[in-house]
A and B are shown apart, each in its own frame.
Chain A
Amino acid sequence: MPQMNMVQAINDALRLEMRKNDKVVVLGEDVGKVGGVFRVTAGLYDEFGDDRVIDTPLSEGGIIGTAIGMALYGLVPVPEIQFSDFIFPAYDQIVSELAKFRYRSGGEFVSKLVIRTPVGGGIRGGHYHSQSPESQFIHVAGLKVVCPSNPYDAKGLLLASIRDPDPVLFFEPKRIYRAAKGDVPEGDYTVPLGKAQVIKPGKHVTIIAWGAMLYEALDAASQAMEKGIDAEVIDLRTLWPLDIDTIIESVKKTGRVVVVHEAPKSCGFGSEIVALINEKAFLHLEAPPVRVTGFDTPFPYTLEMEYLPLAHRILPAVVQTAQY
């Protein structure tokens, strides 16, 4: 089985689906000849031509607005937004249009597309190349939100996202684009949307994470093990719709939970996860649920490693929660 990194796995998924389905088109800034600033679409332009791998003018609103029109026509566009920090010019199209088409037209129209966009910090990108805006899209009724943590899931989740009937925001954790490597089957397979995965079983405390922070959670879990704390680590994979069953099952077992994400703490997705745990497993809790997250500041440049919820910040939270 070939070894791939995240970039190669996503590229493989796009190529596979474009060969299979001639309705799939890729569009965005620099996605064509140069293959994207992260090279995720490398080689697609040469294979599929400029009608299906389209270098667009520099306008995220234009990219998503025209992609919605293409989708209404029956194509399956997979637009790329170069950094999720730059998605906001398209926010109106995503929030007011893409997410609402099926609902507002009584099911007459479906605007189906998958927006791929790199997310997260730790690459010395400063405020405008590092943010994690996932909760701003989860809060909008009508969108599915996915964030893979490894090449196998990246390929399988992207194929599932393209074939899913609803619009999907596909966040690609750029810090591990090349660092995360693993076996990726050749050919077709999917990883179902809406299913989390228990990466490391444990019995004392549940750590919930996704994307690049999964590795920090695993690091913290292995350090906790040295202190005799056996943490269970869950990779959400799909953020919305949330796999609540996997979370509740784990929390009922451990009674203790730490949620980790890069985005700012207040109204971050962790707030929703903790609220759901309180609603559904309150009597099983042995300790207050804890969030280890980015801070409620803009994303800083020089101090980014202090901002991010890395293992050194997760570990004390895990220990304190386990010992509460």
Chain B
Amino acid sequence: MSATPSPKAAPGVKEFAHDNGKNGHHAVSPLVTYEPIRVMREDGSVDPARDPGLTDARMVELYCTMVRTRIIDERLVTLQRQGRIGFHIGSLGEEATIIGSAAAARKQDWIFPCYREFGALLLRGMPLQTYVDNMFGNGNDTVKGRQMPDHYSGRAYNFGSVSSPIGTQITQAVGFAWAAKMKKDDLVTLVYFGEGATSSNEFHNGANFAGVFKTPTVFLCRNNGWAISVPASKQSASQTFADKAIAYGIRGVRVDGNDLLAVYSATREAIERGSRGEGATLLELLTYRLSGHSTSDDPKAYRKDAEVDQWKSKDPNVRFRTWLERRGLWNDKKQTELEEQAAADLQECVKVAEKAPPPPLESMFEDVFQEMPWHLREQRDELLKGPRAKGHGH
């Protein structure tokens, strides 16, 4: 966060590296907004037609969440390298797509996460300690150490449950919104996934059901350029991912995903459409995965530094910071304080999480069913009576 390059000229459609353009022509559909929505201009002003009109305090709050998210990301990678946690999957470079969209959700709206959205969960009020306990899978982890790190759930924050299979949350988000519509409840679901997930069965199923039953669902496709090592151009021959909306009869909108205010504005508009009974919207949020897919891969093996550097210069956090600074809402001193505080908060949570005991052995057998059947009771007793594995704290 030390370097603060000024935002580059707002990129045009062609400038987005993940534009497919294989066929050399652009089909045009009235269902799709092709020119990426952008709110923050390079001269430091905003597009008045799209200014979401956030208060200064709210903008600062969102920026702080972006920075905290980034610092947590960076520190968790270090912890993983030190062998203190097993895994991390982060959102480096994609903060605006996550914080901007989650911020646009109304309180009653539900978020169905992919697995990079811990920033949205923190914005919605989950205590940092709860998140860090999940990273350690300790006895305080709300999912009882049953899932690998970054597989949390947050019912109290209208936030679903993370699983690893790609796209499964999409149909679930559609079904949830559909049920709310049946019950005439004013509720929209936001579902996150990457552009790689548009190749999955469940993207097709979800978008198709959403189109047929006009469910109030916002499909948040974070086009970050890469699905582990496979570039966006190898996921689909569609010219854009927003184009996919056409086949399902839903709206498709491209958004500059590194422009927090643009993401907010486009998401809010999609939520309002859903709330008005006008159905689902697919937002293609153009961004870039600055880190590897997770701590388990090294992106140097499959992509060039130059490409990464190009996107580093479009850093969403820097861009929003510059905008706030121009409005007199932010400065170096505040930045330093925030970074120090965020790092200290995390360190404190890590200290607590590392001291917490592992989940009790018998918890392995709970919650498979509401009541434990005989075969699980037998297996639990067998485990409890038997020898312990080494090195797990029991």
Q: How large is the interface on B (under 10, 10 to 19, 20 to 34, 35 or more residues)?
A: 35 or more
Residues in A lying within 8 Å of B, measured CB to CB: 25, 51, 56-57, 59, 61-62, 64-75, 89, 92-93, 96-97, 100-110, 141-142, 144, 165-166, 194, 241-242, 244
Chain A contacts for B163, CB-based, 8 A: 96-97, 100, 104
Q: Which 6 A-B pairs have the closest CB atoms?
A: A69-B175, A65-B171, A66-B175, A62-B205, A241-B373, A73-B179
Cα A103 to Cα B153 with chains together (Å):
11
Interface string of B346-389 (1 = CB under 8 A from A): 00000000000000000000111111011100000000000000
19 contacts between A and B (CB under 8 A): A56-B209, A59-B204, A62-B209, A64-B171, A66-B174, A66-B175, A66-B178, A68-B171, A69-B189, A73-B175, A75-B179, A92-B201, A104-B147, A105-B143, A105-B153, A109-B160, A109-B161, A110-B370, A165-B371
Chain A min CB distance to B126 (Å): 12
Per-residue A-contact encoding for B197-217, CB less than 8 Å = 1, 0 else? 000011011101100100000
- In the complex the two chains form, is A70's CB within 8 Å of B178's CB? yes
In the complex, what residues of B have CB within 8 A of residue A100's CB? 163
Known: A107-B367, A109-B161. A65 touches B146 (CB 8 A): no
Assess whether A141 is in contact with B368, with CB atoms less than 8 Å apart.
yes
CB distance from B211 to the nearest CB of A (A): 9
* A105-B374 contact given A69-B176, A72-B172, CB 8 Å threshold: no
> With the chains together, A67 CA to B154 CA distance in Å?
20
**What does the 1/0 interface line of B128-157 toward A look like (CB < 8 Å)?**
000000000000011110110001011100
Instruction: Report the minimum CB–CB distance from B346 to chain A (whole Å).
Output: 23
Chain A, residue nearest B162 (CB): A104
A68 CA / B205 CA spacing, docked (Å): 13
Q: Which residues of B contact A107 (CB under 8 A)?
A: 366-367
The residues of B with any CB-CB pair to A shorter than 8 Å are 141-144, 146-147, 151, 153-155, 160-161, 163-165, 168, 170-180, 182-183, 189, 201-202, 204-206, 208-209, 212, 366-371, 373-375
* Complex interface: chain A residues within 8 A of B175 (CB): 65-73
- Residues in A neighbouring B180, C-beta threshold 8 A: 73
B369 lies within 8 A of A61 (CB) = no
Tell me which residues across on chain A come within 8 A of B177, comparing CB atoms. Answer: 69
Q: Which residue of B lies closest to A22 (CB)?
A: B183
C-alpha spacing A64/B151, complex, angstroms? 22
B142, A104: Cβ atoms closer than 8 Å:
no
Q: Which residues of A contact B374 (CB under 8 A)?
A: 241, 244
Contact indicator A105/B368 (Cβ below 8 Å): no
Other-chain contact of A93, B171, B173, B208, B369 (Cβ < 8 Å): B171
**Cα(A177)–Cα(B201), bound, Å:** 32
